[in-house]
Structure 1
Amino acid sequence: MAPRHHRRTTALAALTTIVLAVPLTAGCSAVEKAIDCAQLAVDISTDVDNLQDAVSGAAVDPQDADNLLDALDKDIDKIKDKTDNADVGKAVDHLQKAVDNVQTAIDKGQDPDLGPVKDAAGELTKVCSP
């Protein structure tokens, strides 16, 4: 339980840091993009936590996992639409590939490896922080 709380705390700290670190002279759109990126990183972190809960039980519930993967895909799409930052784009691409691999494993009835998803979500949180 502590690792999940730690990831959320880290993501929320990143959001606060972004809000405080953006210079007052920056345009509103720069501030809004930074906040959007950080908020979506928090949402994705929550999605990853929920996915881990769904697949860490005695048996993977494919429907629950599919629903959570759909939520992750939607959040990934949102962040793709809201940023033109190359580093964020690269992190999002890594996350999408990792999510696709989890979906493939679940579709094949295999236990998915969530390590790459967690790593990519962490990478996204980093690039959304100043």
Structure 2
Amino acid sequence: MTAASAAAALALAVPALSACSAVETALDCAQTATAIGQNVDNLQQAISNGADNPAEAQQALDKIDKNLDALGDKSDNADIGKAVDDLSRGVKNAQQALDQGKTPDTTPIESAASELTKICTPG
């Protein structure tokens, strides 16, 4: 194989690898958005149960936060970054409310999770 044909083969392979990376990122995004959605549902359930088990709400918030860290590390998409930032801010505010013995406002978390789901859902 000549240097020119090797360079041509590499030039053809790079977009294919990039496409695979884009597909993997999209799948990671969709899976993480689904997990976050489930965690938000768990959070809503824990909060609707009242102050009976604030530890359950804290666990749901911790799971959302962990999923956000994973997604933020895997994506360089600006829209995903904004949704992750909004979700992180909502989670931190909810954690502070729980720490103060208050019922957290989950509206910002729900809105950001919904936005993330829209961004990560293909089509």
TM-score under structure 1 normalisation?
A: 0.77
Identify the residue that residue 124 of structure 1 maps to in structure 2: 116
Q: Which runs of 5+ in 2 are unaligned?
A: 1-15
Matched positions, count: 107
Q: How does 1:21-60 map to 2 (within 5 A)?
A: 27-60=19-52
1:30 Cα deviation from its structure 2 partner: 0.8
1:60 Cα deviation from its structure 2 partner: 4.6
The 2-side partners of 1:26 and 1:81 are apart by 17
Identify the residue that residue 14 of structure 1 maps to in structure 2: none
Q: What secondary structure is seen at the aligned counterpart in 1 of 2:51?
A: coil
RMSD: 1.7
Tell me if structure 2 keeps the 8 A contact 1:98–1:117. Answer: yes
Tell me if structure 2 keeps the 8 A contact 1:60–1:111. Answer: no
Greater share of residues in helix: 2
- Per-residue CA distance 1:83-103 (angstroms, 9 max, x = gap): 000110001000000111110
Q: What secondary structure is seen at the aligned counterpart in 2 of 1:110?
A: coil
- In the TM superposition, structure 1's runs of 4+ consecutive aligned residues that sit over 4 Å from their partners are none
Identify the residue that residue 8 of structure 2 maps to in structure 1: none
Larger Rg: 2
Identify the residue that residue 74 of structure 2 maps to in structure 1: 82
TM-score under structure 2 normalisation?
A: 0.81
Alignment counterpart, residue 64 of structure 2, candidates 60, 64, 72: 72
